[in-house]
Chains A and B, each alone.
Chain A
Amino acid sequence: MKINTKFFGEVEINEENIIEFPNGIPGFEEEKRFVLLDINEGAIYHSLQSVDNPEVALVVTNPYVFFHDYEFDIDENTINLLSINSKEDVMVLSVLTLKDPFKHTTANLQAPIILNFTTRKAKQLILHDTNYQTKQPIIVEGKDVESDANSKS
């Protein structure tokens, strides 16, 4: 099927790739169906695009690229909601709040998106009692990664 997207115009998607968010996403509770569209060639960044609303798209990434020690428990409710049977089913994504310059970009580690890619069901999990932030800088100041991050100039 064809959908209108925020960043890529009209895109042909395979309906089998639609991800269902039974509870919507906080702030976009009405949107229940999304697809993941690759943004860059290395496929580190994806656009989590609403199937039904072109305006709603969140940039997401694999948080473990940036935060090797990121860990949290997935609660019983989420495991049931997403019909998770084994950890191999699970993919974790973090929502990025992009900034220019890129080094000010943050990841929302307090609310990881949990995707069961066997059942194609997902949920944005809100962690209670955690030190992870909604605005965790993905680039630590002082580390010499700035030249890489700004390689476009």
Chain B
Amino acid sequence: MLILNRKVNDSIQIDDDIEVKIISIEGDQVKIGIEAPKSIDVFRKEIYLKIQEENEEASNTTADLINLLKSTEKD
């Protein structure tokens, strides 16, 4: 991993079109601004991991559970 020292208002440029800027630092909280093309999604890592895990768990559905669903009707 590349590690860089930055101060408030300093930026990091990634490729031509991504800028990561340090907005403020308070205690152990760093506020970061990210400018990236619209085609790029930016997530908090732990949230992305949570969604990945949930999708993986959801995809573990078995044929038995599908049969349960077939017999389940919601009014």
Residues of A near any B CB (own CB < 8 A):
7, 23, 25-28, 39-40, 42, 44-45, 47, 55-59, 65-66, 76-77, 80-81, 95-100, 102, 108, 110-111, 124, 126, 128, 134-135, 148-152
Q: Contacts A126-B47, A148-B74, A149-B72 known; A59 to B66 CB distance under 8 Å?
A: yes
Q: Which of the residues B44, B59, B73 comes within 8 Å of A151, measured between beta carbons?
A: B73
Secondary structure class of chain B's binding surface, majority of residues: helix
Interface-located stretch among B2-10, B13-21, B26-34, B35-43: B35-43
Q: What chain B residues lie within 8 Å of A134 (beta carbons)?
A: 50-51, 54
Is B52 an interface residue when CB atoms closer than 8 A count as contact? yes
B59→A58 contact, CB < 8 A: yes
A7 → B minimal CB distance (Å): 5
